[in-house]
Amino acid sequence: MTDLIFNVFILLTIIPCFWVALSSNIVHAAFSLLITLFGIAGLYVLLGADFIGVIQVIVYIGGILVLIIFGVMMTQRGKLLPLSIQLPGKLFGAVLTGVILAALLLSATRTLWPVAAVLGEPQLTSAAIGDLLLGKYLIPFEIASVLLLAALIGAVLIARRSVRGE
Amino acid sequence: MDWMIGFAILIVKLGVVLVGLLLLAAYLVLLERKFLGRLQIRYGPNRAGKFGLLQPLADTIKMLTKEDIVPEAADRVLFLLAPAVVAAEALLIFAVVPFGASVTLLGKKIPLVITDLNVGLLYVFALASLGVYGVALGGWASNSKYSLLGGIRGAAQMISYELSLGLSLVPIVMLARSFSLLDIVRAQAHYPFILVQPVSFMIFFISAMAETKRIPFDLPEAENELGAGYHTEYSGMRFGLFFLGEYVNLQVFGALVAVFFLGGWRGPFLPPVVWFLIKILVISILMIWVRGTLPRLRYDQLMHLGWKVLVPLALLNIVATGFVLLIIG
Amino acid sequence: MNSLYTYLFLAALLFSLGIFGVFQRRSLIGMLIAIELMLNGASINFMAFNRFLAPDPIVGQIYTLFIMGIAAAEAAIALSIIVAVFRRLRSINIERAQELRG
């Protein structure tokens, strides 16, 4: 049963991925990314991290992707642009992608990972994450929140100044 | 064998909840039309059956048999998907809502909740944030300017108010010390949280109304400006799905208010499930009443209320709650 | 099936498709979408290592949380830049945005 669900999530993650990279329609690409992100959230839950899985849906799907779709709706006028660039650039991209994919796969298979012999049962994570974030990782946590605040203010400023500039 | 029984119980629970929700949604529509009619000194639907009680059935038949039009310039796949997203998202939230403590049937203890997630509250938010996609994609895929405007307005409104919706519930989590909806109801054994968190309740209620896009906040579908907003181009059962999603969402927020603030299924004399339904209905009627009373907000008023009033208030409320909890220990 | 390698292959695939997407797109938003794909590939690696190599502590999950935070900040800034570029050039085609070169 778990295997079946696992395979479903793997397929949910992989298949739309190709649309994300290749579709010439940007809204279709964004919608495919939604399905991919959903599949990844499911995989996180199967990895025993229910908290991260749900946060993945809230932050990526409920926040970032909404922003992206919002951006598409604001900037898309008239007919959709075909998205791919000329052949040389495409060829270069394809070769580079192939090299990186090969390197990643090689390092993944060649390295002897010290996989734990017996996997511990996944325990409830939300409390442990909270403890770590406000204990051992307090400073990175605070820095991340300052970064988010700075990004928020910066985003408002950048989008606003161009209004006055006109 | 045990596995089979568990599975059968799950299927039965799913079926009962689904049928119950759909029936309640159909009759909420009737209730809304009747009640609005009364508020506006007219009768409301009264032709189909006694007191118009068969009106939901007639409406369903009408929607199912109407022609399902897909505009030629529409983005077909997304156009067909968008209403399903709205309806499915609303129905799926009920997977974690507890309807009662548990009943013992044939010597087996059955909890009255489809699944008690340890991150239930976050699950609710994750699904609620999916609702934006139905609106935004429906508006974009229709390829019509009214729909697009409605979709953009809807997306902006929903992500703005999701913030205050989420922040208003942080004090509840602090009090209950758990994300599980079952635990949150259990934590209200002595007193419902509305007594200690009235501010939180107000913020949640207002944001919930904005999330369901009901009348003071119905800018995404404002009839006199945008036709019908993001669902202008929809007809037949696809429009029906948007409609269904809206009324299931009404029940979702009724149920969530009951769980978070009104003590869930608790109440004297009557059985728990009945109390829960009563609470859902009271909240729904309150929302319908607001709809009959208030005019629509202007767009700047909407954003002002969301960002400059509700969000700071919710943050202050969190700080105050933390302070009090620290003093009490 | 549910082994470390499955997750590593999946992450590698997501990451390289993301890179391909960045190279292949002409629109800024398309590139942003592809970058999200790459970030998710990295997150999957963290989560898989966390589960299979160090099942007890949950440090990998914290890294994933930080990646999400950074992704959110990056998306907000990128979209405001996109809106600003669109206001000026009436297009988000990166080949037109080359005019910004000093």
Number of Cβ within 10 Å of residue B20's Cβ equals 15
Provide the residue-wise pLDDT of chain B in tens; the chain has 329 residues.
Answer: 677 777 787 888 888 888 888 888 888 888 888 888 888 888 878 777 777 788 888 888 888 888 877 777 777 788 888 888 888 888 888 888 888 777 766 666 777 777 777 888 888 888 888 888 888 888 888 877 788 888 888 888 888 888 898 899 899 988 888 888 888 888 888 888 888 888 999 999 999 888 888 878 887 777 777 777 777 778 778 888 888 888 888 888 888 888 888 887 887 877 778 888 888 888 888 888 888 888 888 888 888 888 889 999 999 999 999 999 889 87
Quote the number of domains for chain B.
Answer: 1
Residue A122 has pLDDT above 70, yes or no: no
Beta-carbon separation of A28 and B133 below 8 A: no
Report, as an integer, the average pLDDT of A144-158: 90
Q: Which amino acid is at B100?
A: G
Minimal Cβ distance to B123: which of A25, A54, A67: A54
- Angstrom distance (rounded) from CA B262 to CA B285: 15
Q: Are B100 and B279 in contact (CB under 8 A)?
A: no
Distance from CA of B199 to the nearest CA of A (A): 24
pLDDT of residue C97: 64
* Residue B213, phi then psi, degrees to nearest 5: 55, 45
Q: Which residues of A touch B129 (CB under 8 A)?
A: 57-58, 61-63, 66
**What is the token pair recorded at B308?**
């400059």
**Chain A / chain B CB contacts < 8 angstroms:** 75
Residue A84 has pLDDT above 70, yes or no: no
Q: Are B155 and A69 in contact (CB under 8 A)?
A: yes
Beta-carbon separation of C9 and A105 below 8 A: yes
Distance from CA of C46 to the nearest CA of A (A): 11
- Closest Cα partner for C31 from C70, C96, C80, C78? C78
Helix (H) or strand (E) holding B53: none
Largest CA-CA distance found in chain B, in angstroms, rounded: 64
* Residue B53, phi then psi, degrees to nearest 5: -70, -20
Minimal Cβ distance to C14: which of A17, A85, A119: A17
* Residue C77, phi then psi, degrees to nearest 5: -65, -45
- pLDDT tens figures, B115-163: 777 888 888 888 888 888 888 888 888 877 788 888 888 888 888 888 8
Q: C96: which residues sit within 8 A by CB, 6+ positions away?
A: C89
- Angstrom distance (rounded) from CA B298 to CA A15: 43
Distance from CA of C33 to the nearest CA of A (A): 7
- Angstrom distance (rounded) from CA A26 to CA A28: 5
- Angstrom distance (rounded) from CA A134 to CA C29: 35
Topology adopted by domain A1-77+84-92: Four Helix Bundle (Hemerythrin (Met), subunit A) (1.20.120)
pLDDT of residue B318: 92
Minimal Cβ distance to C82: which of A18, A47, A75: A75
Beta-carbon separation of B126 and A62 below 8 A: yes
Beta-carbon separation of A97 and C93 below 8 A: no
Q: A14: which residues sit within 8 A by CB, 6+ positions away?
A: A39, C10, C13
**What is the token pair recorded at A131?**
């403890």
Q: What SS3 class is residue B296? A: coil
Beta-carbon separation of B140 and A27 below 8 A: yes
Residue A139 has pLDDT above 80, yes or no: yes
* All structural domains of chain C with their residue ranges: 4-100
Q: Are A82 and C38 in contact (CB under 8 A)?
A: no
Helices then strands, each counted (H, E), chain B? 12, 2
pLDDT of residue A143: 92
Domain around B170: 2-328
- Closest Cα partner for B314 from B200, B234, B211, B225? B200
Beta-carbon separation of A73 and B117 below 8 A: no
Report, as an integer, the average pLDDT of A148-161: 86
Residue A164 has pLDDT above 60, yes or no: no
Query: Which of B4, B133, B311 to probe the A interface (max A CBs under 10 A)?
Result: B133
- pLDDT tens figures, A16-30: 888 887 777 778 888
* Residue B283, phi then psi, degrees to nearest 5: -65, -40
- Angstrom distance (rounded) from CA A13 to CA A38: 7
- ipTM of the predicted structure? 0.83
Chains A and B touch (3+ CB pairs under 8 A): yes
Chains with ≥3 Cβ pairs under 8 A against C?
A
Distance from CA of A52 to the nearest CA of C (A): 7
Q: What SS3 class is residue B110? A: strand
Chains B and C touch (3+ CB pairs under 8 A): no
Q: Are A45 and A8 in contact (CB under 8 A)?
A: no
* pTM of this prediction exceeds 0.90: no
User: For the domain C4-100, what is the CATH code?
Assistant: 1.10.287.3510
Provide the residue-wise pLDDT of chain C in tens; the chain has 102 residues.
Answer: 567 888 888 888 888 888 888 887 777 888 888 888 899 999 998 888 888 877 666 888 888 889 999 999 998 888 888 888 887 777 666 666 666 665
Q: Are B141 and B82 in contact (CB under 8 A)?
A: yes
Residue A166 has pLDDT above 60, yes or no: no
- pLDDT tens figures, B174-186: 888 888 888 888 8
- Closest Cα partner for C33 from A13, A69, A98? A69
Minimal Cβ distance to B119: which of A27, A51, A74: A51
pLDDT of residue A77: 58
- Angstrom distance (rounded) from CA C92 to CA C82: 7
- Residue B108 bridge partners (DSSP): B105
Q: Around B48, how many Cα atoms within 13 Å sit in the side-chain half-sphere?
A: 14
- Angstrom distance (rounded) from CA C24 to CA A86: 9
Q: Around B285, how many Cα atoms within 13 Å sit in the side-chain half-sphere?
A: 11
Angle at B74 (CA atoms; ends B69, B80), nearest 5 degrees:
60
- Angstrom distance (rounded) from CA B310 to CA C98: 42
